[in-house]
Amino acid sequence: MKLKNNTISDCSIIDLSKVHSESGNITVVENESNIPFEVKRVYYLYDVPGGESRGGHAHYNLEQYIVAASGSFEVLLDDGFNRKKVFLNRPNLALHVLPGLWRKLDNFSSGSICMVLASELYIEQDYIRNYIEFKEWKLKK
């Protein structure tokens, strides 16, 4: 499998917008509307102990929206050449992470929930979990 040639600047924050009312807000993510891929899987990270990090991998094909459904955390994006940190703390904002990029999540606030909408089912072969291997792949491009 070939690692895709995306860069950190291809990743953007999408405002999913919200339906506001005095009794609370609703944010909707709907296929063919405000997400550029079909959602095949949703998972969420929670009860992350202080100081822990998650992620630490890249995907060959999978793209995803990462949403701070509650609380806050940081996402480090790395394309093998450049890095950027994105702070997420609003449930109506999604970080669109493209395939071929390393990502690591840390600085989870207490009680935070990281919701991920993914374009693929869970397939371990789609993961690169070794950073040195990832860098070698990206430098080959």
Interacting residue ranges for ligand TYD, rule: CB under 6 A: 41, 43, 45, 54-55, 57, 122
CB of 140 to ligand TYD, least distance (A): 24
Closer residue to ligand TYD, CB minimum distance, 29 or 128? 128
CB of 47 to ligand TYD, least distance (A): 13
Strand extents, DSSP E, the chain: 12-15, 19-21, 24-26, 41-45, 54-59, 64-70, 73-78, 83-88, 93-97, 102-106, 113-118, 127-128
> Among 20, 57, 59, 96, which one carries the catalytic annotation?
57
* Neighbour tally for 41: CB within 10 Å: 13
* Neighbour tally for 128: CB within 10 Å: 17
Closer residue to ligand TYD, CB minimum distance, 19 or 43? 43
Q: Which residues contact 140 (CB under 8 A, 6 or more apart)?
A: none
CB-side exposure of 102: number of CA atoms within 13 Å?
21
Closer residue to ligand TYD, CB minimum distance, 18 or 57? 57
CB of 116 to ligand TYD, least distance (A): 7
For the question of residue 59 being annotated catalytic, the response is: no
Catalytic residues: 57
